[in-house]
Structure 1
Amino acid sequence: MKYDTAFRERAVRLLQERRMEFQEEFLAASVRQVAGVMGMSVVSLRGWLRASVPGLPGAVSVDLASENRRLKRELVEAKRANEILRSAAS
């Protein structure tokens, strides 16, 4: 199942808040509880948490990934506009 960016951010934020309330040793229990509340898999939530922690190898925050997709769409539109302007000028 695909989850939107807002859902991912909400799930990670909820997990981080839960982790602040309890000791670090209860991380697995917190992940299970939040995943259950959100109706999602533990594996997905764990992956999103890892991706949200800066400095981990290969970690890209959900925000950066969505920003990258948005910028790629803008680039395609700009290239298309340039192509139209070039053909109109010649």
Structure 2
Amino acid sequence: MTKQRRTFSTEFKHEAACLVLDQGYSVTEACRSLGVGETALRRWIDQLKTERGGITPEAKALTPEQQRIQELEARINRLEREKAILKKATALLMSDELERTR
């Protein structure tokens, strides 16, 4: 029998980290009251600190601003891939057209 891994929403992670950073709870108090592991909570706290410092994390962001930045970066990446595909298709079509005119 395998143990199911619990998942938490980004809102929950954000609120849990805010308990420690903004409301003065200790990490152990927050862990006990929320029923989460200390390692996970410390990771969320570290992530929130870096996000507040303006650094976009690799993992799913906790703050709304960083979430928006991640969405926009993903959109830029998708558009750049589409642009590269269109450039290649245009070059291919142009080379075919040149060969037909010869």
Q: Which is bigger in relative contact order (C-alpha 8 A, separation at least 6)?
A: 1
| Dislocated runs of 4+, deviation >6 Å | none
Q: Which residue is equivalent to 2:49? A: 50
Rg (Cα) greater in structure:
2
C-alpha spacing 1:34/1:24, structure 2 compared with 1 (3 Å)? same
Q: Which residue is equivalent to 2:85? A: 80
Shift of 1:84: 0.6
> Over the residues paired in the alignment, what is the CA RMSD in angstroms?
3.7
- Percent identical among aligned pairs is 8
SS at match of 2:55: coil
SS at match of 2:86: helix
Equivalent residues in 2 for 1:7-18, closer than 5 Å = 7-8=9-10, 10-15=11-16, 18=19
**Counting helix residues as a fraction of each chain, which structure ranks higher?**
1
Runs (5+) with no aligned partner, structure 1: none
Equivalent residues in 2 for 1:22-41, closer than 5 Å = 24-26=23-25, 28=27, 29-30=29-30, 32=31, 33-34=33-34, 36=36, 41=40
Count of aligned residue pairs for this structure pair? 78
Q: Which residue is equivalent to 1:71? A: 76
Give the conservation status (yes or no) of the 8 Å contact 1:12–1:48: no
Runs (5+) with no aligned partner, structure 2: 62-66, 96-102
